[in-house]
Amino acid sequence: MTDKKKNILAVALELFANDGFNGTSTSKIAKEAGVSEGLIFRHFENKNGLLHAIVQQAVERIHILIEPILIENEPKEVVRKSIELPFVVPQHEYPFWKLQFKLKWENDYAGDKMQPFIEKLTWAFAKLGYEQAQEEAEVLNHIIDSISAGILREGRQSQENLKEFLFYKYDK
What residues make contact with its own copies under the rule CB under 8 A?
A: 18-20, 22-23, 98, 101-102, 104-107, 132, 135-136, 138-139, 142-143, 145-147, 149-150, 153, 161-162, 165-166, 169
Beta-carbon neighbour count of residue 123 at 10 Å? 15
Beta-carbon neighbour count of residue 32 at 10 Å? 16
Smallest gap, in angstroms, from Cβ of residue 25 to DNA?
Answer: 3
Binding of DNA by 146 (CB under 7 A): no
Smallest gap, in angstroms, from Cβ of residue 137 to its own copies?
Answer: 11
Asked if 70 and 117 touch (Cβ cutoff 8 Å), the reply is: yes
Smallest gap, in angstroms, from Cβ of residue 43 to DNA?
Answer: 7
Binding of DNA by 102 (CB under 7 A): no
**Own/partner long-range contacts of 13-21 (Cβ < 8 Å, ≥24 apart):** 13/54, 13/95, 13/96, 13/99, 14/95, 16/51, 16/54, 16/99, 17/95, 17/96, 17/98, 17/99, 17/102, 18/95, 20/102, 21/47, 21/51, 21/106
Partner that binds at residue 41, options its own copies, DNA, none, CB closer than 5 to 8 Å by kind: DNA
∠ CA 53-55-58, nearest 5°, is 125
Binding of DNA by 123 (CB under 7 A): no
Partner that binds at residue 81, options its own copies, DNA, none, CB closer than 5 to 8 Å by kind: none
Site for DNA in 14-53 (CB under 7 A): 24-28, 34-39, 41-43, 45-48
Give me the residues that bind DNA (CB under 7 A), please: 2-5, 24-28, 34-39, 41-43, 45-48
